[in-house]
């Protein structure tokens, strides 16, 4: 197995791909790998807040591509990596791109056409199918690999005790209009509960209000992006009831909610279906009416809700714990070594 690698770009707590990268660094280090970081921009306070040097990572000067000589280089959804890949490839031992989305980046296609990307990594079959088709059409070798993403559950403690006398729920995402289904508020208003309803929406702004057509009713609290910590959000929610207009590849919210003990009531499509076992570890919904039914059931059936959230926590360890993730990464590293 390899003993070092280099990340092109930098993790943060601001986005799904960045957070995912941060968790993978923890996994790699636990596997005994020295992680180098060569950022595409000068390191700012947001980067320094990750405390990577204190964790043992080795920083390179930004865009010092010559310093990558002999290193296996990997990047998570970083557009600047693709723009600079011709120079990076001159020094890197291998290059790997992780597309966390469900569509191709134009730079990704250009680099594949020129043979600049050695490996493409995916976390779901759905993601690979949607992204890989165009990449495989070029004459250059296309080497797709699957990887089990590591989720560091210790950052999201399980909340055993929940508040009595109310059913608390919410949704959390970036303030991206595609992340909000047009009938999200209708679902909240229409679902029923045996006690007081209390909602929390994280990622609210004027654009979201304009899309949904109004402000939420008084029982729903809204927060801007990062207006409340993720941990406090999940501590406040018996359930995450979240419908979107976009196709999610592997939503980090799923892992965070499962670790925290918030039952998922989410879309029956995309990455949600890979994570949630309908009726066992959460609820999958085809349309707004099914959301209303299953959210209401979640509110009324407390014993079922308790069983689900404990089952979800157990499932999380099986599908995104260190054992499964480290085995999959070991296979990736073996492929890197064999190529060059």
Question: Would you kindly state where each structural domain of the chain is located, as residue ranges?
Answer: 4-150+321-339, 154-319
- At the topology level of CATH, where does 4-150+321-339 sit? Rossmann fold (3.40.50)
State the burial class of residue 324 (Cβ atoms within 10 Å of its Cβ: 0-12, 13-18, 19+): middle
Quick one: pLDDT at residue 161? 85
Quick one: pLDDT at residue 19? 83
CA dihedral 171, 173, 177, 179 (to 10 degrees): -70
Quote the Cα angle for 162-280-286, to 5°. 100
The tokens for 188 are 């909240």
Q: Torsions phi, psi of 15, nearest 5?
A: -145, 160
Cβ neighbors of 322 (< 8 A, separation 6 or more) are 27, 30, 150
> pTM of this prediction?
0.89
Quick one: pLDDT at residue 16? 66
Quick one: pLDDT at residue 10? 94
Tell me if domain 4-150+321-339 and domain 154-319 are identical in fold.
yes
Distance CA 153, CA 167 (A): 25
Distance CA 336, CA 340 (A): 7
Counted residue by residue, the chain has a size of 340
Domain 154-319: CATH architecture, name and number where available = 3-Layer(aba) Sandwich (3.40)
Mean pLDDT by 10 residues, the chain (340 residues): 95 77 96 97 92 97 97 95 97 96 93 98 90 95 96 94 91 95 98 97 97 97 94 97 91 96 96 95 98 98 97 96 97 94
Whose structure tokens read 């990750």?
A: 50
User: How far is C-alpha 48 from the geometric centre of its chain's CA atoms?
Assistant: 21
The tokens for 198 are 């209390």
Quote the Cα angle for 324-325-329, to 5°. 125
Quick one: pLDDT at residue 13? 75
């Amino acid at each position: 197995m390899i003993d070092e690698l280099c990340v092109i770009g930098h993790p943060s707590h601001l986005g799904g791909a960045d957070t995912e990268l941060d968790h993978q660094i923890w996994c790699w280090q636990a596997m005994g790998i020295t992680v180098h970081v060569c950022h595409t921009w000068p390191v700012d306070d947001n980067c320094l807040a990750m405390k990577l040097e204190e964790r043992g990572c080795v920083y390179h000067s930004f865009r010092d591509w010559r310093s990558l000589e002999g290193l296996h280089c990997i990047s998570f959804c970083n557009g600047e990596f693709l723009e600079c890949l011709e120079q990076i490839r001159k020094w890197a031992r291998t290059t790997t791109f992780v597309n966390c989305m469900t569509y191709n980046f134009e730079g990704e296609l250009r680099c594949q056409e020129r043979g600049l990307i050695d490996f493409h990594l995916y976390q779901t079959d759905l993601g690979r199918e949607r992204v890989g088709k165009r990449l495989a059409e070029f004459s250059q070798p296309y080497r797709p690999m699957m990887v089990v993403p590591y989720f560091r559950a210790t950052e999201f403690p399980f909340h055993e005790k929940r508040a009595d006398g109310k059913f608390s729920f919410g949704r959390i995402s970036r303030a991206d209009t595609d992340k909000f289904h047009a009938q999200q508020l209708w679902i909240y208003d229409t679902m029923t509960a045996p006690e007081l309803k209390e909602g929390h929406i994280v990622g609210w702004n004027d654009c979201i209000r304009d899309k949904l057509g109004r402000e939420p009713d008084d029982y729903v609290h809204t927060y801007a992006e990062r207006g409340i910590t993720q941990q406090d959000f999940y501590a406040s929610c018996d359930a995450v009831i979240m419908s979107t207009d976009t196709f999610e590849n592997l939503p980090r919210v799923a892992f965070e909610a499962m670790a925290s003990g918030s039952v998922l009531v989410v879309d029956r499509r995309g990455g949600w279906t890979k994570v949630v076992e309908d009726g066992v570890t959460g609820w999958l919904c085809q349309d707004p009416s099914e959301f209303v039914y299953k959210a209401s059931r979640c509110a009324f059936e407390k014993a079922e809700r308790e069983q689900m959230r404990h089952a979800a926590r157990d499932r999380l360890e099986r599908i995104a714990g260190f054992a499964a993730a480290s085995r999959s990464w070991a296979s990736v590293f073996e492929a890197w070594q064999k190529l060059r």
